[in-house]
Amino acid sequence: MSDTFEKVKEVIVDVLKIEDGNINQDTRFIEDLKADSMDQFFLIDGFCEKFDISISDEDARKLQTVKDAVEFIETLL
């Protein structure tokens, strides 16, 4: 597993207050983790802080799975 994936998982666990055992590359934020729009906002904010990046609203809407987030963040790093 990549370092980026592990850091993304840390943000998800922290924001959603869940166990990390349920999180893999194919995990969907809305369907699997039950993230609502506010959760999604805090996830994106958490990713931006953790990786010192900026994610536009347009790009944020494209991040449906953990894999989407990991790949997008890796393109910015």
Domain boundaries, the chain: 3-76
Per residue in 40-76, pLDDT (tens digit) is 999 999 999 999 999 999 999 999 999 999 999 999 9
Please say if 52 is a catalytic residue. no
Tokens at 21, concatenated: 């055992």
- Long-range contact set of residues 59-64: C-beta below 8 Å, sequence gap at least 24: 63/29, 64/28, 64/29, 64/30
* CATH top class, domain 3-76: mainly alpha
Annotated catalytic residue, options 26, 36, 52, 57 = 36
Per residue in 4-24, pLDDT (tens digit) is 999 999 999 999 999 888 899
Q: What is the largest CA-CA distance in the chain?
A: 29
CA distance readout (Å), 77 to 50, 51, 70: 12, 8, 11
Give the separation between CA 8 and CA 66, rounded to whole angstroms. 8
